[in-house]
Amino acid sequence: MVVRLPQGKDVVIDAKMSLVAYERYFNSDDDAERQLALTEHVNSLRAHMKVLGRKDYQQFPGLRSLDYVLMFVPIEPAFMVSISRQPELISEALAHNIMLVSPTTLLVALRTINNLWRYEHQSRNAQHIADRAARLYDKLRLFVDDINAIGQSLDKAQASYRLAKNKLSDGRGNIIGQAEGFRALGVEIKRPIAFAPGAHVPFADRPGEAAAVTDLQNAGAPQKAGACDSPTDGAQDGSGPSRQTRAECPLRE
């Protein structure tokens, strides 16, 4: 069995250990036969280690194996009794780049491999988060630059608007004020210009100025014929010539 490791590595687990001699050892009631079967079991274990040492799994095409192999003894007592009989088996196995494992120690090794993968995923996620955070920061920086540019454009537009409005209605001699002067001089209009609250009122709408313009208009306009045309009105009572008031003598249309 091949177990994938982080960073492109593999570990090979060999589980082809023969347990024929151990089965005789376990089922025999004769002590001499048991000792002989145990010796055969240890020798079988040692022979299998030598075979594995010559396979050189790390040289196989497509296999990125580590420089050692896990030799799995599938029965825990079979592993323990052989180590008790020949403790040097562990060092001999390491000399052939082999690690002897039992069900218990293999489980520990697999859990260690699983932890390695979890740490690898966490490291990749951390790097991914860092990359996304950097991209987000760059986007935020560009967005702030755009907002600042929009603000500067709005400020320029507001300044241009104030200049234009000053010429139109607020400043001295503004366009609307001059146009309203024409209305005060008698130019007929369909509808007066509406001013926003707080807007500057043109001079022709100010109290007194429109009346002064009207006086100038009336002073130069000819009057209708009638009672107002008589320059001696009131002479019968000896009071002498008198002039009619503007209210008594309406302007000619």
The overall pTM is greater than 0.85: no
Section 117-131 average pLDDT: 83
> What DSSP character marks residue 251?
B
Considering only 119-123, 159-163, 235-239, which range has the smallest mean pLDDT? Answer: 235-239
* Alpha carbon separation from 221 to 179, 185, 250, 251 (Å, rounded): 22, 12, 11, 7
CB 97 within 8 Å of CB 66: no
pLDDT in tens, 28-66: 888 899 899 999 999 999 888 888 887 777 667 666 666
DSSP state of 167: I
Residue 159 exposed, middle or buried by CB count within 10 Å (0-12, 13-18, 19+): exposed
The 10s digit of each residue's pLDDT in 88-122 is 988 888 888 888 888 888 888 888 888 878 887 78
- Residue 224, pLDDT > 90, answer no
Residues in the chain: 253
